């Protein structure tokens, strides 16, 4: 591994690279130090902030400090965008820290408006907890880990899935010290480990995110074939697949310590702490199928004040680009903030330190969060030389609407965050007007309207228009289809909701040709090879709708050859949907010898006693009868 640039070396390099850096930072970015966290008097250092921060329904930013307070148990805080700090809960308030201690992971916002997080210790036996916290400081423990098969010591807050449950990752589990992926209900005392990592599929997992396909995608810092980390996919049911094994230096990266983020193109983006061309870490893109592309290898040098060793992942900005921080690099190795496009164009936005020192703090280890006012917010860490600060970074992006829940059916309630909502005059889903409730100046609920296609949500006020930072996915639904069965080539009318964006229809597991008649109706043609007794599905940008009932694929006979023959003569019958045939008859007399060659061909021997007449083939889907007669000859 290449050594990290020393502080002394960076001091010598600082003056010589000023011109280069200033050219890189030509487009002005505004970094503002908003709040100085108090020094920790126990060890004369600043607060080592690292957890996720989240925007609440009230427009404030919420987070945690893992080791403050006199007992070093940590706390949860509220911060205004102007930098006014309020501690809302101090952990270890209960006997034996039953409420948890060490909330290093930070907080996430739930659909109920409460905040959710984890502690790394405390709880029932000191193995950590999962908790719910109101913005006013009322804490409820949802799960207390028992240091057994239920995992423990989680370093990330849980995320709320599309099903309403909360999902998280932990760093230890009883069956091995490689970590686990677990599910917790929103009500107390319901937890299940879905994946127990075994090193081959990863170790020390970071928190995965839920992709638009409903699966969870994440990284693990260690494990895999090269023992330096993997990218994995987990289904909601807990089936795990390794999508990529990192290869390290000088290839694609090593030790991915940040959380993935899904871009507007459907691909996932992330960082590695080490590896890449220079062993200072990388930024990468990976498809849901596991094809990885290296976008940037960090390369601090005497002529380039690039960052190094990103300890956090990326955040998707409202402009479709990605923003992040490196722990070191830049002036005096104090770390920097950067932007990268989906195509890989990298731009340094701000070096935490400058040629005159590190008065603005250094070592930014907290993942950035973009507020709906368009600005990014984060924390530095470090010690009394630079202090720990809460800061904002303004790159000129305008205010937008943030979707708390980003997928749902027509009639579902959607939570919207923003500012200036008091004067809201309308909410629309990709151009279709929706009913809404103006709860506060920073929070609106809206109902997904009938006919709405997947796309951006727009909030209109008397003075402005704000669009959502991501598309809302309107989940399609199949209500019924008619007829209940049919032969290959027959038409099937499918009725449902949110069907006008249909991109694919399958019948019996095979892709069918189709025509969208309206948002509530699609007509499809039964495809060759359709499996009997399988569901009908319709795919749209909002997801996949699956019928409740199964479609019956009825067999059909197109021809047979020869058209006449003696008893025991072989006859080839062609048609469709012959798979699973249970009976073949000649003039009503069952053949004692037949074989399904393919779904479109059956071979049979003319049975003794056969009569001149139609040939019939029976399958679980029904009986096909030929229009022509087979002539039995003497």
Mind spelling out the 3-state secondary structure of 85-122?
Answer: EEEEEECCCCHHHCCCECCCCEEEECCCCCEEEEECEC
Q: What is the dihedral sign for C-alpha 201, 206, 207, 210?
A: negative
pLDDT higher than 50, residue 554: yes
- Domains for the chain: give ranges and CATH numbers: 402-473 (2.60.40.10), 476-553 (2.60.40.10), 556-632 (2.60.40.10)
Give the whole-angstrom CA distance, residue 616 versus residue 627. Answer: 10
**Euclidean distance between CA atoms 365 and 65, whole angstroms:** 12
Do the strands 216-222 and 601-605 form a parallel or antiparallel pair, or are they unpaired?
unpaired
Max distance between CA atoms of the chain, in angstroms, equals 109
Residue 26, pLDDT > 90, answer no
pLDDT of residue 68: 77
Q: Which of 135-149, 271-285, 533-547 has the lowest mean pLDDT?
A: 135-149
What would the two tokens of residue 287 be?
A: 């498809």
Task: Return the number of other C-beta atoms located less than 10 Å from residue 96's C-beta.
Answer: 12
Q: Name the phi and psi angles at 504, rounded to 5.
A: -160, 145
Task: Give the model's pLDDT for residue 384.
Answer: 53
**pTM listed for this prediction:** 0.89
Task: Give the chain's mean pLDDT.
Answer: 91
| Strand pairing class (209-210; 203-205) | unpaired
Sign, Cα dihedral of 286, 291, 293, 294? positive
Structure tokens at 114: 């409460």
> 11: pLDDT confidence band, cut at 50, 70 and 90?
very low
Determine which helix (DSSP H) or strand (DSSP E) holds 10, and give its type and residue range.
helix 7-16
Instruction: pLDDT band for 37, please (50, 70, 90 cuts).
Output: confident
Q: Distance between CA atoms of 233 and 239, rounded to whole angstroms? A: 8
Cα 304–Cα 366–Cα 96 angle in degrees, nearest 5: 150
Strands 129-133 and 115-119: antiparallel
304 pLDDT more than 90: no
pLDDT band at residue 408 using 50, 70 and 90 as cut-offs: very high
Which bin fits 137, alpha (ψ -120 to 50), beta or left (φ > 0)? left
* Strand, coil or helix: 489: coil
The answer to whether the bond into 483 is cis (omega within 30° of 0) is yes
């Amino acid at each position: 591994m290449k050594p990290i640039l020393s502080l002394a070396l960076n001091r010598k390099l600082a003056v010589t690279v000023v011109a280069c850096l200033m050219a890189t930072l030509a487009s002005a970015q505004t970094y503002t130090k908003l709040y100085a966290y108090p020094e920790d008097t126990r060890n004369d250092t600043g607060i080592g902030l690292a957890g996720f921060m989240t925007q609440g329904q009230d427009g404030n930013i919420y987070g945690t400090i893992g080791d403050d307070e006199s007992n070093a148990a940590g706390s949860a805080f509220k911060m205004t965008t102007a930098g006014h700090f309020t501690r809302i809960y101090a952990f270890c308030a209960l006997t034996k820290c039953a409420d948890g201690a060490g909330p290093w992971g930070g907080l996430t916002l739930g659909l109920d408006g409460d905040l959710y997080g984890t502690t790394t210790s405390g709880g029932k036996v000191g193995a950590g907890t999962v908790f719910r916290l109101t913005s006013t400081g009322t804490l409820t423990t949802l799960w207390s880990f028992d240091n057994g098969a239920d995992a423990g010591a989680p370093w990330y807050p849980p995320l709320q899935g599309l099903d309403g449950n909360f999902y998280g990752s932990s760093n230890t589990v009883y069956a091995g010290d490689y970590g686990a992926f677990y599910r917790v209900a929103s009500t107390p005392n319901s937890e299940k480990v879905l994946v127990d990592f075994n090193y081959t599929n990863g170790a020390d997992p970071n928190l995965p995110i839920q992709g638009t396909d409903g699966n969870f995608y994440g990284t693990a810092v260690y494990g895999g074939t090269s023992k330096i980390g993997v990218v994995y996919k987990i289904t909601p049911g807990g089936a795990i697949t390794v999508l990529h094994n990192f290869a390290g230096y000088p290839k694609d990266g090593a030790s991915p310590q940040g959380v993935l983020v899904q871009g507007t193109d459907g691909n996932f983006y992330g960082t590695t702490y080490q590896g890449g061309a220079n062993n200072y870490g990388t930024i990468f893109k990976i498809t849901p199928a596991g094809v990885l592309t290296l976008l940037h290898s960090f390369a601090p040098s005497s002529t380039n004040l690039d960052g190094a060793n990103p300890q956090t992942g990326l955040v998707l900005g409202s402009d479709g680009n990605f923003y992040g921080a490196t722990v070191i690099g830049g002036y005096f190795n104090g770390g920097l903030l950067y932007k990268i496009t989906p195509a890989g164009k990298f731009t340094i936005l701000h070096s935490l330190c400058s040629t005159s020192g590190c008065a603005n703090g250094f070592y930014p280890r907290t993942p950035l969060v973009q507020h709906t006012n368009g600005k990014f917010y984060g924390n530095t860490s470090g010690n009394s030389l630079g202090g720990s600060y809460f800061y904002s970074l303004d790159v000129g992006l305008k205010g937008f609407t943030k979707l708390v829940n980003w997928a749902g059916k027509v009639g579902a309630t959607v939570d919207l965050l923003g500012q200036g909502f008091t004067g809201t005059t309308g909410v629309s889903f990709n151009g279709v007007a929706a009913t809404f409730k103006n709860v506060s100046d920073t929070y609106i609920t809206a109902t997904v309207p009938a006919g709405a296609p997947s796309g951006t949500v727009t909030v209109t006020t008397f003075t402005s228009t704000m669009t959502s930072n991501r598309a809302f996915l309107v989940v399609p639904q199949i209500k019924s289809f008619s007829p209940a069965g049919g032969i290959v080539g027959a038409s099937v009318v499918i009725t449902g909701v949110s069907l006008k964006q249909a991109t694919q229809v399958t019948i019996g597991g095979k892709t069918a040709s189709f025509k969208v008649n309206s948002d509530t109706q699609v007509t499809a043609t039964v495809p060759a090879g359709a499996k009997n007794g399988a569901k009908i599905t319709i795919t749209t940008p909002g997801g996949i709708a699956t019928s409740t009932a199964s479609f019956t694929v009825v067999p059909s006979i197109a021809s047979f050859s020869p058209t006449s023959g003696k008893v025991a003569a072989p006859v080839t019958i062609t048609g469709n949907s012959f798979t699973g045939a249970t009976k073949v008859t000649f003039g009503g007399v069952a053949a004692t010898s037949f074989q399904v060659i393919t779904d479109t061909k059956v071979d049979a021997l003319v049975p003794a006693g056969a009569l001149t007449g139609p040939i019939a083939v029976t399958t679980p889907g029904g009986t096909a009868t030929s229009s022509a007669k087979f002539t039995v000859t003497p």
